[in-house]
Structure 1
């Protein structure tokens, strides 16, 4: 009787587990991660869908909001950079529209997992904020960078935001993400134009010391532009972009300082969302859907 070598059994078991995990990942990436009415959210499946997401980004960031165009951007009318190749692209599709899937994309979010960022030399937001220092302080966590969020004007509704969050929750459950982070933006390049909203964030929404992250020194701009007693809370919150208000609702906190992005014409703040600290109300609301679609 032939006895299997322990080393061989270990190799076969590990290889088999890796194959099973890869097959499960392939299934996850091929299916819907959320659905509300005619809107469906899932990951991009091929280069054509990624290109279509880049075209949606171009329409919002360049045509609508006036970001600076390079020659390459102008020629192909796509917002693209070196990070697109290593990111997952979350898509919202209007399934009632005619034509192939890539023509139905009405919103997108770019997702960069820590392991992919490490292999590529870092996260996108490290050009503005000291994210690497934060990650070093939390070696047991798995970080996910959220970025390039945009939705076409006619689809900017609560329903679209909710279906996007269904997709994000399914994604963080599937990949066991511990911390979500990334930049969020105010339009324009003058922090003082957003003094009340930025000051509200500085006084009331800052991260705890354990999760603090600072704008890099060469680009640091203060958010504390008004004394706390001068802030009208209602008008400060009303002046915030919907994305930032959405982050705050689920319990996200804000890093130290803001950064002016001249290329995109924005004032950026940094969002930190440890998954365990997100409001239980939203974990129950979105997490149930995320678990269902991630299963």
Structure 2
């Protein structure tokens, strides 16, 4: 993959950011350390604490890992884990199949890239990092010859699940996918037994997916490890490619440069 950089303009100084794909064991560990900081430490998931400070599982070795690095400090400040069809075939499943029956999507398996574990360093959540990750993701999908993006989007249930119910009720009215692409949760989140919050607060990443044309493809699953309600998303690449910059707040003060 070509490296993509964002260089600051004099008018609005920002960090210089560079995207790449992890190619060494140490680069993978950098992504895993950032994931641990965001998901395990950031969410206070003590049951998943590890002495090595890494968030890792059996999927990592079969996935590619998109990285955004601060070119000055050399710190990895954003990452996305992507599973191509070949990796899914080696594993025998997508990550999402641990939570959902995806049988109806069998005709699409060779055209799906599954993305997950998206996270951004707390000090870099101004829009530029997610824009770069999505640009790299779009390029990755094109290089793989895939035209569907799939994955799970998590909604915290720390409030008892009220917001998750409100979000699901809102999205099922406007963003439910076609019947032929519906999935079924293995462990359903009991959304019919929980009162919805008065106002739905859609997590930023999920909101970005929705604005870019993603569908939710069924009822939410409950993820007891991360204490979240998870929605399965499916999005055609055609909807992603032209919209990511606009919907993540990147404006003319950021200059894009492609370096070979």
**TM-score class normalised by the smaller sequence:** 0.7 to 0.9
Counterpart-to-counterpart distance in 2, 1:75 and 1:280: 39
Counterpart-to-counterpart distance in 2, 1:275 and 1:92: 21
* Residues 215 and 233, structure 2, Cα contact 8 Å, conserved in 1: yes
Find the counterpart in structure 2 of residue 194 from structure 1. 164
Q: How many residues align?
A: 242
TM-score by length of 2: 0.83
Give the drift of 1:69. Answer: 3.5
Counterpart-to-counterpart distance in 1, 2:82 and 2:107: 22
Give the drift of 1:224. Answer: 6.3
Counterpart-to-counterpart distance in 2, 1:120 and 1:53: 21
Q: SS where residue 66 of structure 1 aligns?
A: coil
Residue 66 in structure 1 maps to residue 75 in structure 2: no
Residue 145 in structure 1 maps to residue 119 in structure 2: no
- Given candidates 41, 51, 55, the residue that maps to 2:33 is 55
More helix by share: 1
Counterpart-to-counterpart distance in 2, 1:105 and 1:56: 7
Find the counterpart in structure 1 of residue 12 from structure 2. none
More strand by share: 2
- Given candidates 106, 114, 119, the residue that maps to 1:136 is 106
Counterpart-to-counterpart distance in 2, 1:137 and 1:172: 18
Q: SS where residue 185 of structure 2 aligns?
A: coil
Find the counterpart in structure 1 of residue 188 from structure 2. 220
**1:188 and 1:196, CA in 2 relative to 1: closer, same or farther beyond 3 A?**
closer
Give the drift of 1:281. Answer: 4.2
Counterpart-to-counterpart distance in 1, 2:169 and 2:191: 5
Give the drift of 1:231. Answer: 9.2
Q: Compute the RMSD of aligned alpha carbons.
A: 2.8
Q: Deviations over 1:202-252 (max 9, x none)?
A: 221111123222223xx123556799xx998xx43xx11111001011100
Residue 156 in structure 1 maps to residue 132 in structure 2: no
Find the counterpart in structure 1 of residue 147 from structure 2. 178
Counterpart-to-counterpart distance in 2, 1:180 and 1:62: 25
Q: SS where residue 260 of structure 1 aligns?
A: strand
Residue 209 in structure 1 maps to residue 171 in structure 2: no
TM-score by length of 1: 0.74
Counterpart-to-counterpart distance in 2, 1:280 and 1:75: 39
Find the counterpart in structure 2 of residue 272 from structure 1. 234
Structure with the bigger RCO (C-alpha within 8 Å, sep 6+) is 2
Find the counterpart in structure 2 of residue 109 from structure 1. 80
Find the counterpart in structure 2 of residue 166 from structure 1. 135
- Given candidates 190, 203, 219, the residue that maps to 1:241 is 203
Counterpart-to-counterpart distance in 1, 2:243 and 2:34: 28
Counterpart-to-counterpart distance in 2, 1:245 and 1:168: 17
Counterpart-to-counterpart distance in 2, 1:184 and 1:118: 23
Give the drift of 1:174. Answer: 0.9
Find the counterpart in structure 2 of residue 91 from structure 1. 67
Counterpart-to-counterpart distance in 2, 1:163 and 1:69: 32
Give unmatched runs, 5+ long, in structure 1.
Answer: 1-27, 287-291
Find the counterpart in structure 1 of residue 253 from structure 2. none
**1:181 and 1:280, CA in 2 relative to 1: closer, same or farther beyond 3 A?**
closer
Q: Which has the larger radius of gyration?
A: 1
Q: SS where residue 50 of structure 1 aligns?
A: helix
Residue 257 in structure 1 maps to residue 219 in structure 2: yes
